[in-house]
Structure 1
Amino acid sequence: MKIASNINFLTIPGLASSGPRHWQTIWEKQHPYLFTRVEQDNWDLPACAAWVEKLQEYVAQLNQPTVLVAHSLGCLTVAHWAQKYFSPLVKGALLVAPADAEYSERLNFVEGFNPIPNTPLPFETVVVASTNDIYASIERSEYFADSWGSTFLNIGEKGHINASSGFGEWKEGKIILNQFVNVLTDPFQLQCA
């Protein structure tokens, strides 16, 4: 399945980056001319301030409309980035399986991600969540979506929506992304939404 080619994408992985079987990596390999990955200096000991600054380095280099495609702690990085920075070229963000750095004991070593921002993001967003994500309850994921002003999609029992949960290419994710891009790039749909 193809991905919309009328906009660029900046992928923001979470803890440990996204390995070769992760959908973010697969999408990047399938569409190298559309996707650019934000590469953090330390994937294993996430520090919010450093991750936000690295994201800003990439955003500052954008030269055309872009959608952020974040996973797990990458979603929190986007939320924190939006508290400090803005770019008119960032048209929206697909936020998949946001990790709950406040309540997940699995993330007690991450630095500076708390408190998680709870104000609306200044661009269109979609939060995609699972009912059995080990890093965030579905209730917390919905709370993040409400706080950020996001459309919320509960896709059922899909784990952390990563390679360990059995996701490869994640064709459903491509459909979600394409529909999101269509809304962002079609003024008529935006007016009618």
Structure 2
Amino acid sequence: MPHMPTDFDYLIQPGWNDSPAGHWQSHWQQQLGARRPQPASWQLPQLDDWVDALRAELAACRRPAIVVAHSLGCVALAHYSARFGGAGVAAALLVAPADVERAGAPAPLLDFAPLPNSRLPFPARVVASDDDPFCRIERAQMLADAWGAPLSVLPGAGHINAASGHARWDEGFAELAILKEGVQVPTCAA
């Protein structure tokens, strides 16, 4: 992993059912010394609860945070931003966003619909796969465009999780480095 400056805090925002020890987000959390929100339930997600947990964790950060979100966590962050203007977020890496509006979306995800489609008030990058079963690449492009974020497409990467062979996903740190190039380092007022 490349050296990551400490000008920011890092926050890992998992998706539905959390990110277990074998998931790249858990690996990254250790590598980055990141925080992780703790909603009441990862298995029965409720939008308000997830947004409140994210807000509380961001408020506990000492510096603006770079949020690394996966799947339903990307949607939770977009809702947070729509409600609170992205307070506390310096930038976000949005990996494999879940399309909660797709036909056949599991019932526990429906509370997160409709998908926020307003521009995010902080720099962001979307990373998606061209064969993600939970979000067609055309939909990922629409979300990236709406959120004002460039899209990186990983060919044949599935849902970019442990099940698709992304247990550590060290290659993803390159996406994080690209994101950070466009982020202003916070400065103290004189």
**TM score, norm. by length of structure 1:** 0.90
Query: 1:60 aligns to what?
Result: 59
**1:7-55 superposed Cα distances (whole Å, 9 cap, x missing partner):** 22111000110011111101112332xx111122100011111111111
Quote the Cα distance in structure 2 between the aligned partners of 1:87 and 1:70: 14
Tell me which residue corresponds to 2:126.
127
CA RMSD of aligned residues (A): 1.7
Which structure 2 residue ranges, 5 or more long, are not aligned? Answer: none
Which residue is 2:180 aligned to? 181
**Aligned residue pairs, count:** 185
Provide the rounded CA distance (Å) in 2 between the counterparts of 1:150 and 1:87: 14
The 5 A counterparts of 1:11-22 are 11-22=12-23
Amino acid at match of 1:18: S
Alpha-carbon distance in structure 2 between the residues aligned to 1:172 and 1:104: 31
* Residue equivalent to 1:23: 24
Where do 1:22-171 residues align within 5 Å?
Answer: 22-32=23-33, 35-171=34-170
Residue ranges of structure 1 left out of the alignment (5+ in a row): 188-193
Of 114-123 and 100-109, more deviation after overlay is shown by 100-109
Partners of 1:163 and 1:20 lie apart in 2 by 10
User: Any idea what the Cα deviations from partners look like across 1:155-186, whole Å, max 9, x if unmatched?
Assistant: 11100000000112112111110221132147
Q: 1:96 to 1:184 in 2, by over 3 A?
A: same
Q: 1:87 to 1:146 in 2, by over 3 A?
A: closer
Give, in whole Å, the separation in 1 of the partners of 2:88 and 2:115: 24
- Cα deviation for residue 111 of structure 1 reads 4.1
